[in-house]
Amino acid sequence: MNKIFQIFYITSYSEDSLKVEESVISAYRSIVDIIRDVKFNLTSVSNMDAGGYVRIEIIKKIKDADLIICNISKNNSSSMYELGLAHAMNKPTIILIDNKTRINFDIASIRYISYDTNSLPDSIINHLITSITTAIDKPDNWKIDLDEKPEKSKSKSKKTIFVSYSHKDTIYLDRIKIHLKPLEKKGLVDLWSDTLIASGEKWKDKIESALESAAIALLLVSADFMASDFIVDNELQPLLKSAENKGTIIIPVIVKPCRFLREPSISQFQAANDPTNPLCKLSEFEQEDIYEKVSHRIEFAMGSD
């Protein structure tokens, strides 16, 4: 008898929790239809009935699960406790968090899915389908590194950030550079974009060198970005390979409407903003807030205080 792939959903109770759970169930059903050669089972903490022993049963479910999906919106203490157990057991874990919850420093540098409470289920279901699919195929990408040593972190204290963008979206590059300038001054990062290529230099060699050294990649995603053969073939593909082989952090920022959610190769990475609300649709204040969140996410990835 073939093993059943066990998915355990841990929910944070809030007024939106039922809608989120419905999205998880819908994504699960889509996965069952897509991957027909694997048997799946989804269990939710919300429908467990174990009397006074529910905590013990939850721990057993986490232990037996092949994949954990955990909603920690509102920083619910029970969900945070169970998330800690999942990480301690080295379980591949997809974290969900709504866009109204302040993300604490323990979570900021971990891969997670942010969703808009005002546009459920549209803001989450496609991300869930892509994330569950990739977690089944490559579970290690959804685990935390329990073997990371302090010396390892220290040796990587300064990282190169590669910005991939269409020249038609330069206005967004200019603004993100402003927000990341303090991190450059603190010596935490080197920010690289093709604007650093001097006249007469071998530009392709410079780009390849920057790609090779990049620890973080910012993708300023738009229709122009996705239509560029050069970006897709010469920047995006090497970055995706680096993410898989070297753990390069990929942070998409959706600047204009595009097919981001329908491109599994990049939508598997958590975007800095809601893909249905690209930067061009936001007010100046809202755009600045997104840039600050990107800077904050990178700063914690650097291990800065």
Q: Which pLDDT band holds residue 290 (cuts at 50, 70, 90)?
A: very high
Q: Which residue has the tokens 């509102």?
A: 74
* Tokens describing residue 57: 């049963």
**What does pTM read for this prediction?**
0.60
> Around Cβ 244, how many Cβ atoms within 10 Å?
12
Q: Can you give the residue ranges of every domain in the chain?
A: 4-142, 150-301
Q: Which of 11-20, 84-93, 143-152, 247-256 has the lowest mean pLDDT?
A: 143-152
pLDDT of residue 154: 40
Cite the DSSP H helix spans in 65-219: 77-88, 105-108, 125-137, 150-155, 170-185, 203-213
Backbone angles phi, psi at 76, to 5 degrees: -55, 125
Does 186 have pLDDT greater than 70? yes
Q: Please list, in sequence order, all residues whose beta carbon lies within 8 angstroms of the beta carbon of residue 11, skipping any fewer than 6 positions away.
A: 17, 20, 21, 44, 45, 46, 71, 79
- CB of 256 within 8 A of CB of 169? yes
Please state the rounded mean pLDDT for residues 53-59: 83
pLDDT of residue 255: 96
Please state the rounded mean pLDDT for residues 40-52: 77
Does 9 have pLDDT greater than 90? yes
Q: Please list, in sequence order, all residues whose beta carbon lies within 8 angstroms of the beta carbon of residue 47, skipping any fewer than 6 positions away.
A: none
Q: Which residue has the tokens 């790609």?
A: 211
Residue-wise pLDDT tens digits, 78-121: 888 999 999 999 999 999 888 777 766 567 667 778 777 777 77
pLDDT of residue 144: 81
* Tokens describing residue 258: 């595009």
Q: Which helix (H) or strand (E) holds 93?
A: strand 93-98
Taking all residues of the chain, what is their mean pLDDT, rounded to a whole number? 83
Q: Which pLDDT band holds residue 302 (cuts at 50, 70, 90)?
A: low
CATH homologous superfamily of 150-301 equals Toll/interleukin-1 receptor homology (TIR) domain (3.40.50.10140)
**Three-state DSSP state, 258:** coil
In the DSSP assignment, the letter for residue 54 is H
> Around Cβ 198, how many Cβ atoms within 10 Å?
7
Q: Does domain 4-142 have CATH number 3.40.50.450?
A: yes
pLDDT of residue 202: 55
> Hey, what amino acid is at 186?
K
Q: Which pLDDT band holds residue 150 (cuts at 50, 70, 90)?
A: very low
Please state the rounded mean pLDDT for residues 285-300: 88
Q: Please state, in angstroms and rounded to a whole number, the distance separating the CA atoms of residues 122 and 102.
A: 21
